[in-house]
Amino acid sequence: MKLLFILDPLHTLTVYKDTSLAIMRAAQARGHHLYVCEQHDWHLQREIALVDAQPFNFDDNGWVVGDKTTHAPTVFDAVLMRKDPPFDNEYLYSTYLLELAQQQGARIINDPASIRGWNEKLSVARFPQFTPPFIVTSQRDKILAFLAEHGDIIVKPLDGMGGSGIFRLRKDDPNIFAILETLTQFETQTIMVQRYIPEIVKGDKRILIINGEPLPYALARIPKAGETRGNLAAGGKGVAQPLSDRDREIAETVGKTLKQHSLFLVGLDVIGDYLTEVNVTSPTGMVEIAAQSREWAVPCDPAKVMVEALEKGIAG
């Protein structure tokens, strides 16, 4: 296969744990040809979508990138959108260009219209049977009423990643009004408010779904001392563990719907028994799961599973 990866600038990637690079290594090991680009390498010539891409190859010193040339996206067997959020206007425009490329015959993973339509926080509303109590609003009085009802809540922006902008609020917090003013921009910015889930101390579990099927292990991201957020970017410790029965129930149910929407690689966030986020842009955690499961009776290499699923999907 010829695979094109849309990435953040290569020099910004964390080499030892980046999931995109792990998928690329697995693909090269299986004989596939790699190309890379950034979101701003996509353009239109009249109605035709084109991309300026570079061949990419791992070597003993890291990697080698060739000259950038212009391609029709259809020359690639698959184009994998792996640009990290924030989901800003530029990200939105990229999904429009990718959708045009898709209409012209390119295979885009994940489906650009579904990326656009599945906000990573709001999408839990599609599965109310698995969610903690929550509201989505910009109105301070509604948030305060929710806080009064539940006593302990999490507030977070709808476009954040890596735990940025997430706060835990309790009734006696002296900073409630300042935090809500900041997050809602004085009631002009919509946010999500969820009941606090005490099981976060055992980890915010990342469950990877590949073509509708969950991997057998989750990566529990355990908060460091004094921290509410389990995100690795916020200092959490990643611990791979088998899926619980509840994890599997959530993952298998949600996975069926994800596959219907052509969302090939997705990361579910589960705290305790509750689904809290559906990550469709550039879910991570593959490297940690692979490293920790090597010594187990049934090891799991998520990147290899991903590439094998691509091979099967493209061949089929």
Whether 269 is catalytic: yes
Whether 229 is catalytic: yes
Catalytic residue among 18, 99, 120, 269: 269
Catalytic residue among 279, 288, 301, 304: 279
Catalytic residue among 99, 277, 288, 301: 277
Name residue 260's amino acid: Q
Whether 221 is catalytic: yes
Catalytic residue among 83, 107, 205, 221: 221
Whether 277 is catalytic: yes
Catalytic residue among 25, 83, 107, 121: 121
C-alpha distance from residue 16 to each of 109, 194, 286, 291 (Å): 24, 33, 11, 11
Whether 156 is catalytic: yes
C-beta separation of 121 from 156 below 8 A: yes
Catalytic residue among 206, 211, 247, 288: 206
Residues identified as active-site: 121, 156, 206, 221, 229, 269, 277, 279
